[in-house]
Amino acid sequence: MQNPAAEFIGQVLCDRYQIDKQLGQKTGRRTFLAIDLQTELPVVIKLLIFNNEFIWDDLKLFEREAETLKHLDLPAIPRYLDYFEFDLPNLKGFALVQTYIDARSLEEVVRSGRRFTESELQEFAVSMLDILDYLHSLQPPVIHRDIKPSNILLTNRSGNSIGDVYLVDFGSVQNVAAKDGGTMTIVGTYGYMPMEQFGGKTVPASDLYSLGATLIYTIAGVHPADLPEDDGKIQLPVNNLSKSWRRWIETLTEISLKKRFPDVTAAKLALARLDDRDLVVREKPYGSEIAIAKQADQIEIVIPDRRYPIGWGIALLLSIFVAPIFGSILSLILMSITGSYLIAFSLCYQFLPFTPFLYNFAYYFFGKLHLKIDKNQISAHRQIGDFRLGEQTPTSLRSNIDRLSYYDFKPQPEGKHKKLVPKEIVIFAGTREYRIYSHSEAECEWLLAELSEYLDLPVRR
């Protein structure tokens, strides 16, 4: 920089803010601690300086940061105080003034050797998700785009509590409605940026990735870019984490947006259920008739379906209109074989009309749904004994599977009693849906855990 920090110390900007010391520095920008001479309170003042490093994109981001902070009102985010242009003899530029938070950054805390328990990290994650929930719920949603340990402050820690969590530095902020014009501005910090951000695309789930990478740094004490990767995905080296907590962090840092939590709500719900999932995921509920055959390259689930494959209205139509036509054709064939019209008539007109109803009852009591997923495809068919009845849904490619959802419908009142409504697990593969039903929440949680682990997909509830 042409203008070292010493040139700023002691300067009074806007006849009000006296610069005390430098807090941080980026290309073209400097952050200082200053004293507001009117209130005598410390403030943070960020300067964008017109010098040989200045580029117009920096001014665009700086103005956007000021405009965004002006409309934010959350204790965990520094409050906007002032924005102005300054013109000193050797220094020109813009200044943004914010409230000062006397706290250490998460990066400083980790570098000092501090390590956190799993419960503390989960408390930290909840605090960060609350901040992101506020930002992403604004209209239009605000995306931070640079969540990392140095932009997170911690203070007021007591006992086993993580204390207060603050998110600072909105210099890379973007709202969903913002357009960068004809040029693509890539902002963020390598190691904490998701892949889509490198391509200039940013969505709310991009902040979730950065939060996951921040948690990985906090756990491992190593910059995410220095950790081993598998197909671009950061690998957590620490083995003493609970399985559900590790999986939650891994879902945050999925490369594919389809596999990552889609939003803060989904991430918070999954985090809240971590303990519950650890209790049920690996045990088949007592009395369950569902069978799972799991291998490294495939999983097959066999479920007593307990549903009628043909609607009763359709079964009645088949019985009244379709059965007589086939009965006439079949009776002629049997009559030519047996030579007896009476036998042919008896077989075709007394038995055939009831076959749709008999099929319904036979499948309800003895039928099973076979769902199979291997490395190439997913398929689902109905079966009675060894007799395959056909596909429930056409086969799809395994690569098309992009969502795993659970629907827990509330019982509906029916007279004096409540109607039992089945719970539903749905595997989405492009435009096709593969459905599993059960009346047991324990069975559904067990199946969801197995499918979620095998498909490497989070569960949307």
Distance in angstroms (rounded) separating the CA atoms of residues 127 and 267: 12
* pLDDT per residue as tens digits for the range 222-247: 999 898 887 788 888 777 788 889 88
Residue 326 pLDDT: 64
- From the list 18, 25, 20, the residue with the least C-alpha distance to 4 is 25
Residue 249 pLDDT: 93
Mean pLDDT taken over the chain: 81
* pLDDT per residue as tens digits for the range 12-58: 899 999 999 998 887 778 899 999 999 999 999 999 888 776 777 78
Q: Which residues does residue 298 pair with via DSSP β-bridges, in sequence order?
A: 374
Residue 102 pLDDT: 93
With a cut of 80, say whether residue 319 has pLDDT above it: no
Note if the pTM is more than 0.85. no
Residue 183 pLDDT: 41
In this prediction, residue 345 has a pLDDT band, given cuts at 50, 70 and 90, of low
Arithmetic mean of pLDDT, 306-321? 64
Token pair recorded at residue 228: 């081993």
Distances (CA, A) of 182 to 146, 185, 200, 210: 22, 10, 12, 26
Check the CA dihedral 438-443-445-449 and report its sign: negative
145: left (phi over 0), alpha (psi -120 to 50) or beta: left
**Is 5-99 assigned to CATH 3.30.360.10?**
no
* pLDDT per residue as tens digits for the range 361-375: 666 678 888 999 998
- From the list 70, 88, 103, the residue with the least C-alpha distance to 11 is 88
- From the list 321, 304, 323, the residue with the least C-alpha distance to 362 is 304
Q: Which residues does residue 93 pair with via DSSP β-bridges, in sequence order?
A: 49, 86
With a cut of 70, say whether residue 174 has pLDDT above it: yes
Residue 312 pLDDT: 62
* pLDDT per residue as tens digits for the range 194-213: 988 887 788 999 999 999 99
Long-range interactions of 47-52: CB distance < 8 A, separation 24+: 47/8, 47/86, 47/93, 47/94, 47/95, 48/93, 48/94, 48/95, 48/96, 49/1, 49/3, 49/91, 49/92, 49/93, 50/92, 50/93, 51/1, 51/2, 51/3, 52/2
Arithmetic mean of pLDDT, 322-335? 63
The full set of domain ranges for the chain reads 5-99, 104-280, 281-461
Domain at 104-280, CATH from 1.10.3720.10, 1.10.510.10, 3.40.50.80, 1.20.1600.10 = 1.10.510.10
In this prediction, residue 282 has a pLDDT band, given cuts at 50, 70 and 90, of very low
Lowest average pLDDT, out of 168-182, 240-254, 286-300, 359-373, goes to: 168-182
